[in-house]
Amino acid sequence: MLSKKEKKLIKDIWERLTPVAEDIGSEALLRMFTSYPGTKTYFSHLDISPGSAHLNSHGKKIVLAIAGGAKDISQLTVTLAPLQTLHAYQLRIDPTNFKLLSHCMLVTLACYLGEEFTPVAHAAMDKYLSAFAAVLSEKYR
């Protein structure tokens, strides 16, 4: 699905963004909560207001998981196995939310990276985030 060049591009982007994982992740989550208010139901026990510790912490976890998966995309299923189980069986997250977050992450990356987020980078990242969401959804089948 992804060429060797695309895999390297994705890995390089996430390595560069890891130091600002909290900012990227919390912004993507905030976009999702604003655009798709129904997604907030899974976070009703947390303070998810802009700049809150919970929002920042969860945003960072998300970005670090995405960046971790990008290190070896061919092993994405193995890398994400613990998160698959957590989200499917314990948290019972609607798998549609993974796609919604992927879209919000793309928008956040476009805003953050600006001209560096070329059409080639956008297409590669879209494919990767779609694969990431699909892998997280596998336990639901």
For domain 4-140, give the fold: Globin-like (1.10.490)
Both tokens of 79, joined, read: 């890398």
- If you average pLDDT over every residue of the chain, what do you get? 87
| H-helix segments, the chain | 4-17, 21-35, 53-70, 76-85, 96-113, 119-137
3-class secondary-structure state, position 72:
coil
Contact between 61 and 15 under an 8 Å Cβ cutoff? The reply is: no
Sign for the pseudo-dihedral over CA of 37, 47, 21, 76: negative
Check residue 49 and give its pLDDT: 87
**Overall average pLDDT of the 93-110 stretch:** 89
| CA–CA–CA angle 91, 80, 13 (5° rounding) | 115
Measured CA to CA in angstroms, residue 141 lies from 22, 95, 101, 123 at distances of: 31, 10, 20, 27
Check residue 69 and give its pLDDT: 87
Percent residues over pLDDT 90 in the chain? 59
pTM for the model stands at 0.87
Query: What residue spans define the domains of the chain?
Result: 4-140
Res. 139: pLDDT tops 90: no
Cα-Cα-Cα-Cα dihedral of 126, 134, 101, 51, to 10°?
Answer: -110
Check residue 89 and give its pLDDT: 54
3-class secondary-structure state, position 95:
coil
